[in-house]
Structure 1
Amino acid sequence: MLNSRIYSEKIGVLVPEILLPKQGTDMEAWAVVACDQYTSEPEYWQEVEKKTKDKPSTYHLIFPEVYLEEENGEDRIKKINDTMKEYIEKNILTSHGPCMIFVDRKTTHAESRKGLILAIDLEKYDYNKGSQTLVRATEGTVIDRLPPRIKIRKNATLELPHVMVLIDDPEKTVIEPLAEKVGDFEKVYDFELMASGGHIKGYKIDDKEVLSNIISALEKLSDPSAFKSKYQVGDDKGVLLFAVGDGNHSLASAKGHWEIIKKNLSEDEIKNHPARFALVELSNVHDEGITFEPIHRVVFNIDTKDIFESMKNFYNNSEVTFEKLDSLDMVNKKIKESSQNTSVHTFGFVTSEGYGVIEVKNPSHNIETGTLQSFLDSFIEQNEKVRIDYIHGEDVVTKLGSKEGNIGFYLPAMSKHDLFKTVILEGVLPRKSFSMGEAEEKRFYLECRKIV
């Protein structure tokens, strides 16, 4: 049942008041990629800074993670907060009222990827292990990563989403029908994204009947009996409607911020406070434009012999083998050949001495990411100078991993069709288990919403 502000308490979905840049804004300069991308490529963000200089841009409203370790963090956060207020006061951002935005994105790898901008209730979300909430993380949340992000949100007047949340809708009842009606909706943006980001179009949906139909379709997906039948589970498994596909730590930071401020609110204030909700892009895991790519690893400041020896010792209950190969093509061929063998986990590597593959027999984890990450966590804990980064493209892994003192690891992709059932039955995946597309396909900041 929808109330006057168009909110479904049953599934925790709110039709938000969305802010977009005023007409005439350079939209290519306005929209920039998610802040957690290109963290080992400062040159990318230096180029973004040049492109957005003296122009209204979401770049001035976010804290790229490549700069998180710099000493001027407090100054950067203050400048972000001041710019948010300036954009509101000078009407650089204008309200489109309560609405959803239907998004159609063309990327370097997909002709069309459809999404729907809406707000979800953070009271329906729990990222902790064993969570049975309606909104759930798909990968492990690193609690240590949250405080600096919560700090950024603390005095912010706006939120900008790079979070992408998935639904499991094989019949395509929620988002896809909107694509057939775009002629009925007002187009609010249509432009080329910077840095090979592709092309994006957005259509405003503010018709109450259409909004009601969207929410009704989502409520049907959340029906407990249909959920149990679909996934063949019992009463001990709570309904999972929304799985966080991208931006888990961003959404977790929004949750952390909300938990702090709600302590000082009355019951009525808690029900209506804007920070209780988070703006996200909703996508169907069955959308042809949604692809799952592996997230690779690069480890810095290592001795190659030492890390291989440590790996042998770590997998003492399994048989681990190392094989040198002549090219990345040979590495990928070997990984593909091994993908059907569940008793062996295979991942590739590159160092200054060349390529190879590692095989771990009888692994204790379900997917290769878990097998490798469990070792890396242990290794990094014992070697304080060692640093790790999570990389989307094989080319970047090769470039960084082949440098002296580094090693890059290549991981296979997981099937997107296994995601919901795996999370429901086994809980969250190891962190950085998959990526929805390549780095340039990540969500670009575009829509805004007030959170104070």
Structure 2
Amino acid sequence: MSNSNKVLSQLGVHIPKIMLPNKETDFTSWAVVACDQYTSERDYWKSVEEFTSGKPSTLSIIFPEVYLEDGDSESRISQINENMKKYIDEKVINELDNCFILVDRKTSHSQSRKGLMLALDLECYDYTKGSNTLIRATEGTVIERLPPRIKIRQNAPIELPHIMVLIDDPDKTVIEPLFEKSANLEKLYDFELMMNGGHIKGYKICDEADISSIADALSKLAQKDNFSKKYNIGCDKDILLFAVGDGNHSLASAKGHWENVKATLTSEEQQNHPARYALVELVNVHDDGLVFEPIHRVLFNVNSEDLINQFNSFYSNNSCDEKCTCENAKPNSVHTFHYITSAGKGSITINNPKSNLEVGTLQTFLDSYMKEHPEVKIDYIHGDDVVTKLGTQPGNMGIYLPPMNKTDLFKTVILDGALPRKTFSMGEAEEKRFYLECRKIR
């Protein structure tokens, strides 16, 4: 093992053997947006199905979450595994030598969002509350959401990532310098993404000098002194190098699957088993093309008038007033929520909230309310226009949330732990990572 590989291994990074479609494949039909997008818009997925008909596509090897409650999960998962095996056997997808892939994504909202495809060691990752590992979740993980996702993975021969993991690299030392030499790199793909997804290019990174520069730059970000100075914190805080931005539950499912596999292996077998690693795209939180968008809420089968009354009542009973001395109180501050229903628009104001972020105030109430009203369903929506469209339908209610400052993310997670779930989105729905690269996990 080279010195660079040793350094990367200590930082939880693995140089994977990535699989890509063969040159005859229509890449535009192959690449499909993340399965957790457009979860209330069946028309979107119907259009994807029509667009990819008769062609190799990741649509046939993923489980769009819009279909999760259709009652045919067993047969869908079985077919997914068969399709994966077929694509491998028929060499629709083929394995590259160990390498990273440098990614340049253009969307309708950004000229360029830069990323680096690599694999992360799940032994260095913990999604549970209060974790202090090198790789951490940025939002709360809903444990109940993991079993069906782990089930999809347990017999799958390959993984397809829509996971995006962030680094806090203000000086742009890890990913950005590689683009200065992109003209001399082997281009692996260059094509238009379907359904207004933009354009994507990928370059092979396998030269030892480039691998070494990545290892050195990541190593500096992980140095204790640099870490403490950056966040103005004491040396007792454990280093957070990688923060999961998108695909938190997918990475948590990969972790759950690995723990199941790990229990069947000897210590020696565990060292290099492919399920120990997960393929992700690494993105610098300071990348100009990365924008944090709010994730709104849409409620279905809800009595909006009752919800508004209960919202106000919940915080009149539970919020801190001016005299409150609890540590989390934010006296004299307010959280205002704008909503829309079939009857029109309105707003709700909560005085002296306990949560720093509006999403914390809202989600705490919604979790409580939905326990008492199991008939109410919720979806997490990107884009004001979709909230307006869905929220104005009878029996529905859309609630809009403000964005958060992306530069505050790492320090907030370090000091306060994971944020409330569905706090932010890295771009609009069509800007999400598309399934493209694969990797064997068996």
Query: Partner of 2:56: helix, strand, or coil?
Result: coil
**What are the superposed Cα offsets for residues 323-354 of structure 1, whole Å, 9 maximum, x if unpaired?**
xxxxxxxxxxxxxxxxxx98111121001111
Match of 2:383 in 1: 393
Match of 1:371 in 2: 361
Is 9-18 or 141-150 further displaced after alignment? 9-18
In the alignment, does 2:13 pair up with 1:13?
A: yes
In the alignment, does 2:120 pair up with 1:120?
A: yes
Q: How does 1:188-227 map to 2 (within 5 A)?
A: 188-227=188-227
The 2-side partners of 1:246 and 1:354 are apart by 33
The 2-side partners of 1:115 and 1:248 are apart by 17
Q: How does 1:409-448 map to 2 (within 5 A)?
A: 409-448=399-438
The 2-side partners of 1:4 and 1:211 are apart by 7
In the alignment, does 2:261 pair up with 1:271?
A: no
The 1-side partners of 2:304 and 2:97 are apart by 57
Q: Is the 8 A contact 1:196 1:440 kept in 2?
A: yes
**What are the superposed Cα offsets for residues 286-336 of structure 1, whole Å, 9 maximum, x if unpaired?**
00000000000001111122111111211114789xxxxxxxxxxxxxxxx
Q: Is the 8 A contact 2:4 2:212 kept in 1?
A: no
Match of 1:39 in 2: 39
Q: Letter of the 1:183 partner, please give it.
A: A
Q: Letter of the 1:219 partner, please give it.
A: S
Query: Partner of 1:156: helix, strand, or coil?
Result: coil
Q: Is the 8 A contact 2:290 2:427 kept in 1?
A: yes
Match of 1:360 in 2: 350
Q: Is the 8 A contact 1:29 1:56 kept in 2?
A: yes
User: What is the Cα deviation at residue 24 of structure 1?
Assistant: 1.7
Is 379-388 or 47-56 further displaced after alignment? 47-56
The 1-side partners of 2:5 and 2:245 are apart by 27
The 1-side partners of 2:2 and 2:263 are apart by 27
Instruction: Go from structure 1 to structure 2 and tell me whether the alpha carbon gap of 1:22 and 1:241 turns closer, same or farther (over 3 Å shift).
Output: same
The 1-side partners of 2:184 and 2:99 are apart by 14
Match of 1:167 in 2: 167
Match of 2:262 in 1: 262
Q: Letter of the 1:170 partner, please give it.
A: P
User: What is the Cα deviation at residue 229 of structure 1?
Assistant: 1.3
The 2-side partners of 1:319 and 1:100 are apart by 49
Query: Partner of 1:360: helix, strand, or coil?
Result: strand
**What are the superposed Cα offsets for residues 53-92 of structure 1, whole Å, 9 maximum, x if unpaired?**
2211111110000111111111110111111111111111
Query: Partner of 1:88: helix, strand, or coil?
Result: helix
The 1-side partners of 2:112 and 2:397 are apart by 35
The 1-side partners of 2:5 and 2:230 are apart by 32
In the alignment, does 2:139 pair up with 1:151?
A: no
The 1-side partners of 2:4 and 2:316 are apart by 61
**What are the superposed Cα offsets for residues 256-307 of structure 1, whole Å, 9 maximum, x if unpaired?**
0000110010111111100000000000000000000000000111112211
Q: How does 1:12-411 map to 2 (within 5 A)?
A: 12-317=12-317, 343-411=333-401
User: What is the Cα deviation at residue 8 of structure 1?
Assistant: 2.2
Q: Letter of the 2:91 partner, please give it.
A: N
TM-score w.r.t. length of structure 1: 0.93
Q: Letter of the 1:435 partner, please give it.
A: S
Instruction: Go from structure 1 to structure 2 and tell me whether the alpha carbon gap of 1:63 and 1:7 turns closer, same or farther (over 3 Å shift).
Output: farther
TM-score w.r.t. length of structure 2: 0.95
The 1-side partners of 2:216 and 2:119 are apart by 15
Q: Letter of the 2:167 partner, please give it.
A: I
Is 132-141 or 308-317 further displaced after alignment? 308-317
Q: Letter of the 2:138 partner, please give it.
A: T
Number of residue-to-residue matches in the alignment? 433
Q: Is the 8 A contact 2:16 2:99 kept in 1?
A: yes
Q: Letter of the 1:9 partner, please give it.
A: S
> Gapped runs of 5+ residues in structure 2?
321-330
The 1-side partners of 2:165 and 2:276 are apart by 17
Percent identity of paired positions between Structure 1 and Structure 2: 62
RMSD: 1.6
The 2-side partners of 1:379 and 1:7 are apart by 48
The 2-side partners of 1:90 and 1:201 are apart by 25
User: What is the Cα deviation at residue 7 of structure 1?
Assistant: 6.9
Is 428-437 or 52-61 further displaced after alignment? 52-61
The 1-side partners of 2:87 and 2:6 are apart by 27
User: What is the Cα deviation at residue 404 of structure 1?
Assistant: 1.3
The 1-side partners of 2:196 and 2:14 are apart by 32
Q: Is the 8 A contact 1:7 1:15 kept in 2?
A: no
Q: Structure 1: which 4+ aligned runs deviate by more than 4 Å?
A: 3-7, 317-320
Is 226-235 or 111-120 further displaced after alignment? 226-235
User: What is the Cα deviation at residue 234 of structure 1?
Assistant: 1.9
Q: Is the 8 A contact 1:146 1:253 kept in 2?
A: yes
The 1-side partners of 2:30 and 2:11 are apart by 32
User: What is the Cα deviation at residue 203 of structure 1?
Assistant: 0.4
Is 308-317 or 255-264 further displaced after alignment? 308-317
Q: Is the 8 A contact 2:135 2:240 kept in 1?
A: yes
Query: Partner of 1:251: helix, strand, or coil?
Result: helix
User: What is the Cα deviation at residue 235 of structure 1?
Assistant: 3.4
Q: Is the 8 A contact 1:2 1:212 kept in 2?
A: no
The 1-side partners of 2:237 and 2:377 are apart by 37
Query: Partner of 2:171: helix, strand, or coil?
Result: coil
Q: Letter of the 1:180 partner, please give it.
A: E
The 2-side partners of 1:356 and 1:234 are apart by 45
